[in-house]
Amino acid sequence: MEERVGEIWHKFITKMADKSYPEAQVRLRDIRKTIGIFFRALGGDGSLVVAQSDANTYTSNRTWLKRIARSEEKVQFAWADENSLRLPEVIDCFADKSLNKDLYLWLSALAATQIKHNDWLVDNQLRTKQALSLFPGLNPHYQRLLAAHLEQRPDISKMSKTEAKAETLIRKALSEPGSVKELPKTKYMPRAVVLWLHPNPPIVKDTSGNDFGESDNQRSDDKQEDATDIGKKQAHRVDNPEEDRGLIAIRMENLFTWGEFANMDRSTDDEDDPDNAKDVARDLDKMAIARNQKASKVQIKFDLDLPAESADDVVLDDGILLPEWDWKRQKLLEDHCRVVLMVAKDETDTKLPQHLKSTAKKLRNQFQAIAPARTWHHGQKDGQEVDLEAYLKYRADTLAGHSNGSDNLYKELNSGARDLSCLLLADLSLSTDTWVNNDSRVIDVVQDSLYLFAESLHATGDRFGIYGFSSRKTDPIRIHAIKGFDESYNANIRGRIAAIKPGYYTRMGAAIRHTTDILKDQVATQQLLLILTDGKPNDLDMYEGRYGIEDTKHAIVAARSLGLKVFCVTIDEKANEYLPNLFGSNGYALVKNVKDLPKSLPMLYARLVN
């Protein structure tokens, strides 16, 4: 009974205190694509993806009703960091749905400006002023938002003198951007300004460095306990807790759950029991890991879900060194990555899979129809046959006394092959091991796509090569040679396609640079680099996020500067968030249904080269 009464009271008081308008709400997921286009059109960083912001604690002076209901303790602000444009999941602060939509666009416009100031008040005023100056069309929308927001601001007459002064200045800053330099100090933060960006946005920390003093090699002789049977664990870093904390000032019966910190660097004998370490790891939902210079007698090995080396491909060379683009320093890091060429270990002659034979036959017929026709070239100095028309004309001119001594009396049949070379680069990362349905994985679909692609191009006579790639940090980036340009497509090549399997991660920039070097050496007037992938660039180090995007973009720009045509085919549903920045709006194609990829890939190629 008490619980029921409490539930009714909570719903009642929350509804009374709530000043939102759910019926007019606009969700980020419904407007994400529009925001992305709008943000980039206003000059926003094209490498940023549109993402949901987290709710942050914000302490302002609330009404007694809101304090009872504990509402507005957390607020979702908007801000931009080096990887994302962060926006609220839902905006429902206005009764008019069009105003809520305009607020999303306005916050995106503020984030697109190039103002960076350490003061929240000054920063947002300068951003507002610049946005309205550069894009006058936004002014009517801003004025509507401003009028609606000012109506929702707290009543100055019910505030203390200091708080009233601060609120007056905020209203002035909103109406006359750039007119207010600072606010008086008050007990509470001012009421949240929904037309401005985050007052104190979270700082993105660089996680590329090694936070654990010793390397894996330095600890290779320690006892290692296998804990892969406990499943994959989520982890985050915390400060190392002090060992001497004094007395516990709480009753132990009040502790109902495990603490979130697991001391993985054990320094006392009673903590060096491997079974105890596994038990703690198993019970924790999330692991917090801190730096500790003390060596551990027990290591726990977790499941990394990586392929076994015993089933790996054969390395053909010692590798070559390639540069990588560091966008933070705006510098090309020379000899930063090592690329190794590999080939299938147990390649055997393989027939085309039975389930692809019908489709392959149709594609071959289609591609033979679009191949350039074989044509006779007349009046040649040398050729396969005598050109009768040229010879008769020559004899007639000679008998008439008008001979010019021409010896162009032959004709030659040209094959009609296009002056074209295409290199297909396939992403063979860990993510291709995911299942599409009950019968096949992504890697199986990629495999079928390579079969049909090769069958189609073999029918046209176009020169082509096929390579796959995956990576483990900067060393090595694995390039799998499936078909070279000088190799004929045959049962042995099909055997290499049959042997492909999921590899490691997706350091795409290095793979593009290496295949660019291969493709540019092909003698052809048209050179196409076709990239097949299922996700964005990533790796175990700092390559995840903005770093990988910028390096890949730099490699693509370099390839195009050499005259290569670069095009991407992807099955990633989120591709529209980052591929326009990498390849341009016309430089990629999204195959929404993964199962359609094998048929779609050859047809996309046909459209690109015809």
Assign residue 449 the CATH number of its domain.
Answer: 3.40.50.410
Structural domain count of the chain: 4
Q: Tell me: do 40 and 127 sit in the same domain.
A: yes
Is residue 195 one of the residues assigned to a domain? no
Is residue 216 one of the residues assigned to a domain? no
Q: Tell me: do 131 and 269 sit in the same domain.
A: no
Q: Tell me: do 442 and 522 sit in the same domain.
A: yes
Is residue 189 one of the residues assigned to a domain? no
Is residue 103 one of the residues assigned to a domain? yes
Domain end, chosen from 175, 210, 245, is at 175
| Surface-to-core class of residue 546, CB atoms within 10 Å of its CB (0-12 exposed, 13-18 middle, 19+ buried) | buried
pLDDT at 259: 46
pLDDT at 482: 94
Q: Which two tokens stand for residue 291?
A: 């730096």
Residue 341, φ and ψ in degrees, nearest 5? -95, 135
Q: Given the DSSP bridges, would you call strands 565-570 and 526-533 parallel, antiparallel or unpaired?
A: parallel
- Determine the structural domain holding residue 402 and report its residue range: 375-414
Is residue 482 one of the residues assigned to a domain? yes
Q: Tell me: do 474 and 518 sit in the same domain.
A: yes
pLDDT at 229: 46
Domain end, chosen from 139, 154, 175, is at 175
User: Considering only CA atoms, which of 312, 318, 323 is closest in space to residue 346?
Assistant: 312
Inter-residue contact 504 to 536 (CB < 8 Å): no
Q: Tell me: do 518 and 392 sit in the same domain.
A: no
d(CA 286, CA 300): 15
Is residue 426 one of the residues assigned to a domain? yes
Contacts 24+ apart (CB under 8 A), 239-248: 239/290, 240/290, 240/291, 240/292, 241/290
pLDDT at 46: 80
Q: Tell me: do 485 and 450 sit in the same domain.
A: yes
Residue 52 host element (H or E): strand 49-52
Domain end, chosen from 251, 275, 300, is at 300
Q: Which two tokens stand for residue 492?
A: 């042995």
pLDDT at 93: 85
Q: Tell me: do 68 and 158 sit in the same domain.
A: yes
pTM exceeds cut of 0.85: no
Is residue 364 one of the residues assigned to a domain? yes
d(CA 139, CA 57): 31
Cis peptide upstream of residue 88 (ω within 30 degrees of 0) = no
Q: Tell me: do 333 and 439 sit in the same domain.
A: yes
Q: Tell me: do 261 and 382 sit in the same domain.
A: no
Q: Tell me: do 548 and 439 sit in the same domain.
A: yes
Q: Tell me: do 477 and 559 sit in the same domain.
A: yes
Report mean pLDDT in 10-residue bins for the chain, 610 residues: 61 54 88 88 84 71 52 74 86 90 92 82 91 92 92 83 87 90 79 85 53 38 44 48 48 44 46 56 53 50 46 72 91 92 82 91 81 63 76 79 70 65 93 86 93 90 92 91 92 92 92 94 88 90 87 95 94 86 90 90 86
Q: Tell me: do 287 and 429 sit in the same domain.
A: no
Is residue 51 one of the residues assigned to a domain? yes
